[in-house]
Each structure stands twice: as structure tokens, then as C-alpha cells.
Structure 1
Amino acid sequence: MKGKISADLGTEPISKLLIRQSVPASIGILVMSLNVLVDTIFVGNWIGSIAIAAINVVLPVSFFIAALGMSIGIGGSSIISRALGAKNKEKALSTFGNQITLTLFLIFLFVSVGLLFKDNIILAFGGKGDIFYPAKVYYTIVLYGVPFLGLSMVGNNVIRAEGNPKFAMYAMMVPAIGNLIFDYILINLLDQGMAGAAWATTGSNLLGFLYVVWYFFLNKKTVLNINWTHLKLKLKTINEIGSLGFVTLARQAVVSVTYLFMNNILFDIGGEVSVTSYAIVGRMLMFALFPVLGVTQGFLPIAGYNYGAEQYDRVRLSINTAIKYAACLATLVFILLMVFPESITKMFTQDPDVVRETPQAMRWVFAATPIIALQLIGAAYFQAIGKAKPALLLTLTRQGFFFIPLILILPNFYGELGVWMSFPISDILSTIVTGYFLNKEIKSDLINKQTIST
């Protein structure tokens, strides 16, 4: 039965598989995103709008450290999917063990550095003026729980790679629901302010970690029953995980740099109000795109498994189906956000300045949403099949090659509007680039291999 779960990735109809993989992933991302969304609403209404800005300053730092776990998880999962497709279970086990050891070492190293230089880091990421003190309180406590978050992310991606999307969904839901409960108790009932919000986040990360431990060591559904020998690092495995995982890490590093520029640029232009507006829009970026990201997550193991099994016709079909589903969902998200930005903003805060400024920003940021499916699926495909260099370049295209230069140039001519205009322009340009390289790869790799095999 355990082997059949993985084997289904190579035999079931692609549409059925994509729905089975994507729906749990979407639900998990939805719950996790709702957690961030509701958490921000709680903080904004129970503590104040400055608290929203403070959390926005801290997020890129904690997310980057947690992204070490995510990158190792996704990089290793690509190897695991292809290894299971090729019936090489020992390689899958060794990869998983190396993921755990590597994550523990790197995350504890970066957390130590993050705590040692916390004042300088907070200031660098825009924690200025009234934002600094609440940001420092939140930052210090949240970093204690980041190792649990990193290990949970490794586990979540491995669970999905072996073909158990429902359990991967639960791995995201457990900490999300836990955080909301902790928020209500610590912020609302016990009036612990920013410290309460931070301890709620840390406690929820611990819950997620405990769930992953239960899945791999006490649950009989997994095919990856590792032992101590699998934890021993192997240079070849580390290099393979690193080359693929670096794609995710680089993407998150660029996101963190983007937050650094955005918070500082917006603070200089509009002060705390503009930073708060960006924080609200950022939460909607995490939340509103959950169905598109769910399809992307569901697509990864399907493409990886079938590529490893040399079923290239199924790989091509999975690409086309994933883009079609994701584009339809992205269009629905676009319509909702264009119609209701004011109502969405008022959920977070009643601050009149923030309510006045945020809706216009939201419309600009999501203006090109209907076309982003191609960019997301295209970049994910190269990562799924183990081609690290094109995956890295396409992943960095939007944020690194287009968005950051645009936010440094356009505000000089258009002020704050130039910041918001940078979002759709970078989306359009990166989608064009990704579409070109994806089409070229399909013709030169998949079609040729399929012709040879037949």
C-alpha cells in the first residue's frame, strides 16, 4: 500500500493526480495564509497599526532563516521524487537523512548570528522610529522558534514528495490553527502585546515540528523509514540538495532584500503609514494566491516522478494542465482584489491614512495576476526535474532581475506610485522570459526524449 501511493504518480490520469495533489496543498497553504492574515488582523486591532509594520520588518529575516529548511526540503524532495520514480528507495532514504542533518546545522548557525546582531538587522530592514522597539521584541522571540519551522518545512516537502498530500496539508494546518488559538489567549485574554504575538508564533512552530516527528517516526503511512546511518552527510548528496535547494534559498534571499529596500524606500517616502500599507498588501500576496501556489506545489512531485520514470508524455501533459488550472484560479483572485480592496484593508485597521492609501497600492500590485501561472509553473518545472541553473535564473527573474531595479528607479520619477507600478511590470517581463525558456526546454528535451524512447 505504501509503495502504491508513490507509484500512482506514474499511472493515474494527470488531471485527477493534479487535483489530488493540489487540493490538499491549496488547503494547507490557505490555512497557513489565513493564519498570517488573521494574525495580522488580530495584531492590528488588538495592538495597533504600528505593530503590523513591526512584524513586516521582522518577517524577511525570520523567513530567510526558515527558508534554509524550505530550500533543503524542496531541493531534497526533487531528488526523492525522481528516486522513487526510478525505484531507488535507498537514495531517497539517504537524501532525507542528509536533509535533516544539514538543516539542523545551518539553521542553528544562522539563528545564532541573527540573535547576535539583532539591533543592526532590525534597523537595516526598516525598523526605524516608533517601529523599532516592538520589532525588536517580536524578532527576538520569533527567532527561538525558527529551527522548528525550518525542520517542519523539510518534513512537509518530503511528505508531499512521497505522494501523501493530505498529510502534507495537515503539517501546514496544525501550526496555523495553533497560532490563532495562541494569539487569542496571549494577546486578547492575557494582554501580552507584541511578546504574546511572538510567543504564539514560536509555539505554533513547535506544534508543526511535533506533527512532522510523529509522521515519520510513529506513523505507518511513510515509505521513508530512516535510521541513524542515513543521517551521515554525503558530499555528493549535499551538492545535489544544495544545487536544487539554492534555487528556493536564493528566491527567499531576494525576497528578504526586497523587503529591505521596500521598507526603507516607503519609510522615506511616507513614513509608518506607507510601511503599514505594504505590510497589508504583503499579507494579501501570501493569502490570495494560495490556489495558484497549491497547484504549483501539487505539480512538483508529479513532474519529478514521471521525469524520473522517463514518461515524458505525462510530464508535458502535467505542465499544460497545471498552467491551465493555475491561470483560471489566478484570474478569479484578480477579479476579487480589483473589486474589494477597500473592504479588505478595513479588515486590518481603521487607521484613516492607511485605509486611504492601501487600496490603490493593492490594485497595482495585483494588476498582472492572471498571467503569473506561467511564470510559477515554468520555474517550478526546472526545479522538479533537477535542472538547477535554469530553475535558479527563472526564479530570480521577477524579483532580482526586474523588480529590485524597478523599485530603485521608478520612485525617482513617480514617487510612491512608482513603487507599486514595479509589481505588474516585473510580473509581465518575467512571464515573457519564463515562457520563452519553458517552450524551448519542452522542444529540445521532452519532445526529443519522447521521440527517442518511442
Structure 2
Amino acid sequence: MGKEELANPLETEKISKLFLRYLIPSLVGMLLMAVNLAVDGIMVGNRLGPVALAGVNIAGPVYTIFVGLSLWLGIGGATLYSQAMGRKEKKRAQFIFTHSILLIGLGTLAIGGLALFFHEPLVYALGANEETAPFAAAYMNVFLLFGFVFTLENAASIFVRNDGNPTLAMAALVTTAFSNVGINYMILYVFDLGVREIAFGTIIAAFLGLLVLSSHFFTKRSQLKFVRVKLDVPLAKQALTFGFPSFLAEVGISVFTVSHNIMFARLAGTVGVAAFSVLNYVHGVMLLMFLGMGAAVQPIVSYFQGANEHEKKRQLMRLAIRTGFIVGAVCFVIGQVAAVPIVNIFGDFPEEVKDLAVTGIRLFFVAYLVMGVNFVLMTYFQSIGEVKVATWITAGRQIVLMLVFLLTLPFLFGVQAIWLAIPLAELAVLCLIIIYLKRSKIRFGERRMF
């Protein structure tokens, strides 16, 4: 068996086996990373209290934006990389890889340094008040200085997965997750330190994950190789175009967090922000799981697109859409049944915080019934180069429609209606996607999916 076959099982395996080959490592890795984020919240909430937890949550969009930057060029570059490999253009693929990693590292350093000069007004712009600002600033400033570690780890994980090694990408996420929990436990419970040190612990954990990923370059299956490059403006534009929906998705997470923090602060004060912080940590777990499904679909679809294997694409998408719906339905049921214990594990909060958070989980989890399907469909359009469609799906569900519902419903029906902005936006977008698929006569499998 040649090296090409070893590196690309996409050419020989059955679709169901191939999907599981990518799905299981992606889901396991993302779920462990999500649990890691939740455990971080649990430890901060129990050790430092609800105000510190709210401060960390307020600073969260900075982390999200940095991840978004890595996804913008990472997913964009990896999509072009896989399409080039599907066309058997190995040298072009290696150039795309090197070019993408270089731009990601330099771009993150530049943006982080610039934002650090404006860190104080930035904290308040993210929704902090006098109580939460010290915690938010302490956490945020560390990420502004060392966020490039996250972007490089995330981008390397994407390319390693696209290079036919999803298991190693999962191992890196497992390493990051477990080391982060261990390091932050020592910081909080052994050394009795605070939020700033928690941020440093998270950076160190990401660096350890990056070390694991680097081992891929020494394996026989690796097609990734750093080559000499110079700035290729058309390539950069193409990568930015292909990766824009992923970047917009991360921006959407920040818009979601900031807008909900502001709305809860306005209508329910610190109690509302603390309750939303609990939901936001739980939502991070679910979101990463759906992102794992997208991460499983993207390398396969991109490769099939480059190889002109259109029937295989349709078979894959039919399977992925069903999986997305089933996973979302399971998440919905968990939210209805286990809302109270989920809230309780984040700390002994006042009853008003608990009550608001429990209601929030039960209402918000309605979104998961359709969110998985929306994620899979957005990833499909992005992976085949239909960037406009992928962009309006992302903008609609995470920014435009979400803000429309958020800025109207609470003033008509009260603070609890804040929780419904995302579920209604997800449902509305799925309806629009179905209409688009029918009008475009796009089929997944022998029969139309919708």
C-alpha cells in the first residue's frame, strides 16, 4: 500500500465507516474539551464565587475571537488543502498549509497586541460592571498576550484532521482537556490562586496539546510539510473567503455572549448575568459537540469535492443530517430532565440565580433539536465552496435573527423570553434552508432530504 493510500482512506472505505472514522474522534475530542470548559466553570464558581464566574464569562468572547481567527484561515486553508489533495496536487497542498499557519500566527500576535492597548474600555464594552471588571480584565489580558498558542493549536488540529489523522487530533484535545483540569485544580485548590492564574493554566494546557499534534509530522502517513513560501494574496483571499463562515460562527458566539450579558444585566442585574454564565458554560459543551460533527464532515466533503465524487457526498450528508438530529434530540431530553442537577454542580448559588438558570436551560435546549442539522448543512455548503449560502446560514442563526428576537421578545414577555432568542433563530433558519434546498433541487441520497 502506497503512502497516498495510507494517508487518504477517503478513497477506499465505505461512507458509513469513513464517517465514523472521523466522527468518533471528533466528538470524543470536542466533548472532552467541552467538559474541560465546564469543569473550569464549576471550579471557578465553587472556589471563587458567582461574581468571579460572571467575570470569566464576560472575558470569554476574547477567547472566542481568537479561536475564530484560527478557524477563519484554518478551515479555509484546510478546505483548499483537502481539495488540492483530492486533485492529487500534493505540492500545492503543502504550500497552502504553510501559508495558512504563517498567516494565523502573525495575525493573532498583531491583533492581540493591539487589543491589549485598549483592554480597559474593552472589558466594559463586553458587559462588565464594577463588580465583574477586575475578574474579567485579569482573565482577558492573559489571552491577549498568549492567544497565539490557541490559534496555532486549533489550526494545527484542523490540518492534522484533514491530513487523515483524526485520532491524533482527538488525542491532542484529550491532552489539553485533562492537563487543563489538573493544572487549574492545582491553581485553585492547592495554591489558592485566582482568575489570572487560571488563564495561564489554560494557555499551558493548549501548548501541551500543540506538542502532541507536532508528532504527526514524524509519521509515515503525514503529507503535511512546511515549505518555503511568500505571501500569496489571491490564496489568502480564497482561504479567507472559504473560512469566513467558520469565523463568523465564532463571532456569533461572541455576539451571543455579549448581547445576552448586556440584556440580562439590564433586566435582571448581576443575578441574571450569573444565571446566564451557567447556561453559557453548558451551551459551550453542546456547541463543541456540534462543532465536532462539522469537523468530521468538512475534511470528507472537501476531499470528495476536489475528487468530483458527488454521489459519495450525497450519501455522507444523508448520514450526517440524521446523526445531527438524533444528537440534538438527546441533548434536548437531557436539558429537560437534568436542568436542576446541572445548575447545582456549578456552585451553591442564591435561589434566584438557580431558578433563573434552571428555567433558562429548559427553554434554551429547545434549540438543540435543530442546531445539529443546521451545523451539518452549513459545513456542507462551506466545504464545497458555496460560501454565500454558508454565510447566510451562520449570520442568520447566530447574529441577525438572534438579535431580532433578543431585542424584541424580552420587552414584550419579560426576562425569561431572553432564553428563546436562539431557539427561535435556529428554527427560522432551518425553515429557510429547507426552502432553499427545495428550490435549488439539491438532493442528498436517492430521495430529497427535505
Amino acid of the structure 1 residue aligned with 2:184: D
Give the whole-Å Cα distance in 2 for the aligned partners of 1:87 and 1:411. Answer: 54
Moved more, 373-382 or 39-48: 373-382
- 1:36-62 Cα offsets, whole Å, 9 max, x none, are 000100101111111110111101122
Residue 390 of structure 1 aligns to a residue in which SS? Answer: helix
Give the whole-Å Cα distance in 2 for the aligned partners of 1:8 and 1:169. Answer: 18
Deviation (angstroms), 1:434: 2.1
- Structure 2 unmatched runs, 5+: none
- 1:56-102 Cα offsets, whole Å, 9 max, x none, are 11011221023111221111111111111111111210110111111
The answer for the alignment partner of 2:13 in structure 1 is 12
The answer for the alignment partner of 2:272 in structure 1 is 274
- 1:345-368 Cα offsets, whole Å, 9 max, x none, are 000011122212101011111113
- 1:190-241 Cα offsets, whole Å, 9 max, x none, are 011112212111211222233333433x4443111222x1x32212211110
The answer for the alignment partner of 2:296 in structure 1 is 298
Deviation (angstroms), 1:372: 2.2
The answer for the alignment partner of 2:363 in structure 1 is 364
Give the whole-Å Cα distance in 1 for the aligned partners of 2:440 and 2:285. Answer: 31
The answer for the alignment partner of 2:43 in structure 1 is 42
Give the whole-Å Cα distance in 2 for the aligned partners of 1:326 and 1:32. Answer: 19
Give the whole-Å Cα distance in 2 for the aligned partners of 1:35 and 1:442. Answer: 42
Does the CA-based 8 Å contact 2:5-2:11 persist in structure 1? no
Give the whole-Å Cα distance in 2 for the aligned partners of 1:3 and 1:47. Answer: 52
Does the CA-based 8 Å contact 2:81-2:93 persist in structure 1? yes
- 1:124-174 Cα offsets, whole Å, 9 max, x none, are 111112101111111112322210000111111111111111011122222
Matches within 5 A, 1:211-290: 211-216=212-217, 218-227=218-227, 229=228, 231-290=229-288
Give the whole-Å Cα distance in 1 for the aligned partners of 2:67 and 2:92. Answer: 25
The answer for the alignment partner of 2:390 in structure 1 is 391
Matches within 5 A, 1:59-74: 59-74=60-75
Amino acid of the structure 1 residue aligned with 2:12: T
Answering whether residue 90 of structure 2 is matched by residue 92 of structure 1, we say: no
The answer for the alignment partner of 1:209 in structure 2 is 210
Q: Could you say if the C-alpha distance between residues 2 and 40 of structure 1 is closer, same or farther in structure 2, counting changes exceeding 3 Å? A: farther
Give the whole-Å Cα distance in 2 for the aligned partners of 1:242 and 1:357. Answer: 40
Q: Could you say if the C-alpha distance between residues 432 and 5 of structure 1 is closer, same or farther in structure 2, counting changes exceeding 3 Å? A: farther
Q: Could you say if the C-alpha distance between residues 441 and 27 of structure 1 is closer, same or farther in structure 2, counting changes exceeding 3 Å? A: farther
Amino acid of the structure 1 residue aligned with 2:409: L
The answer for the alignment partner of 1:381 in structure 2 is 380
Deviation (angstroms), 1:11: 2.7
Amino acid of the structure 2 residue aligned with 1:386: G
Does the CA-based 8 Å contact 1:149-1:208 persist in structure 2? no
Q: Could you say if the C-alpha distance between residues 186 and 445 of structure 1 is closer, same or farther in structure 2, counting changes exceeding 3 Å? A: closer
Give the whole-Å Cα distance in 1 for the aligned partners of 2:323 and 2:45. Answer: 34
The answer for the alignment partner of 1:195 in structure 2 is 196
- Aligned pair count reads 444
Moved more, 138-147 or 91-100: 138-147
Amino acid of the structure 2 residue aligned with 1:225: K
Deviation (angstroms), 1:291: 4.3
Does the CA-based 8 Å contact 1:5-1:162 persist in structure 2? no
Give the TM-score of the pair, scaled to structure 1: 0.94
Q: Could you say if the C-alpha distance between residues 434 and 21 of structure 1 is closer, same or farther in structure 2, counting changes exceeding 3 Å? A: same
- 1:97-118 Cα offsets, whole Å, 9 max, x none, are 1111111221011101221111
- 1:298-344 Cα offsets, whole Å, 9 max, x none, are 11111111121111111111110100112111111111111110110
The answer for the alignment partner of 2:52 in structure 1 is 51
Does the CA-based 8 Å contact 2:29-2:171 persist in structure 1? yes
Moved more, 357-366 or 436-445: 436-445
Amino acid of the structure 2 residue aligned with 1:146: G
Give the TM-score of the pair, scaled to structure 2: 0.94
Amino acid of the structure 1 residue aligned with 2:134: Y
Give the whole-Å Cα distance in 2 for the aligned partners of 1:173 and 1:445. Answer: 33
The answer for the alignment partner of 2:123 in structure 1 is 122
Give the whole-Å Cα distance in 2 for the aligned partners of 1:153 and 1:23. Answer: 18
